[in-house]
Amino acid sequence: MVTRRKLILSGAAALLATILPRHAGAADDPAGILTAIYTRAAKGKGDGGGTFVIQTKASRTKYLSNSLVALWAKVDARTRKGDGGPVGFDPVTNSQDPDVKSFKVAAEKQESDKATIAVTIENHQGDSRANAADKTIRYDFVREAGQWKIDDIKGAVDGSPWSVRALLIDSFKY
């Protein structure tokens, strides 16, 4: 009798697991990581932004790849006290004044150890960005020690492309 009960329960559990919808992205998946980041950025009036991803050494270690964290540390060591550094805007919202009403996360490429994910942002003002390319931010992810980490953030301003990694590297020229 007990074995029949276990059989019925395990069968029901297996059936429910296949029928019930899964979350759009697990927290350990690149799309899930970005969904969590943008959900936080869009909270309230959507003006909180995403600088929490890059603001402190601890947050950089949490979200960014080892090579990007190391590069950022070198730049920080060269930046004079009181100066803003080469990334003087919120790369997560591609803005100085964050405004995230909604967002769409789409995987462009995903392999076992690399991924490129695009996030398209809509703000409360509607179509306030002159160039459509300015609404999309791309994230290059790498897999390190079993975890997905952001290796670069790329976007465009007035159609001209930018990259966080390139901004950091270019800062050594000055």
Question: Taking residues 48-62, what's their average pLDDT?
Answer: 91
Element (H, E) at 137: strand 136-144
Indicate the range of 22-31, 76-85, 99-108, 124-133 predicted with least confidence.
Answer: 22-31
Identify the pLDDT of residue 99. 85
Q: Does residue 3 sit within a domain?
A: no
**Dist CA 167 CA 72 (whole Å):** 10
- Hey, is 153 helix, strand or coil? strand
pLDDT-above-70 percentage for the chain: 82
Do the Cβ atoms of 168 and 77 come closer than 8 Å? no
pTM of the model: 0.80
Q: Does residue 122 sit within a domain?
A: yes
The range of the structural domain enclosing residue 97 comes to 23-173
Q: Does residue 38 sit within a domain?
A: yes
Confidence of residue 49 (pLDDT cuts 50, 70, 90): confident
- Rounded to a whole number, what is the distance in angstroms from the first to the last CA of the chain? 78
Identify the pLDDT of residue 85. 78
Do the Cβ atoms of 116 and 108 come closer than 8 Å? yes
Identify the pLDDT of residue 4. 58
Rg (CA), the chain: 20
Tally of structural domains, the chain = 1
CATH of the domain at 101: 3.10.450
Which phi and psi angles does 141 have, rounded to 5°?
Answer: -110, 150
The DSSP call for residue 98 is -
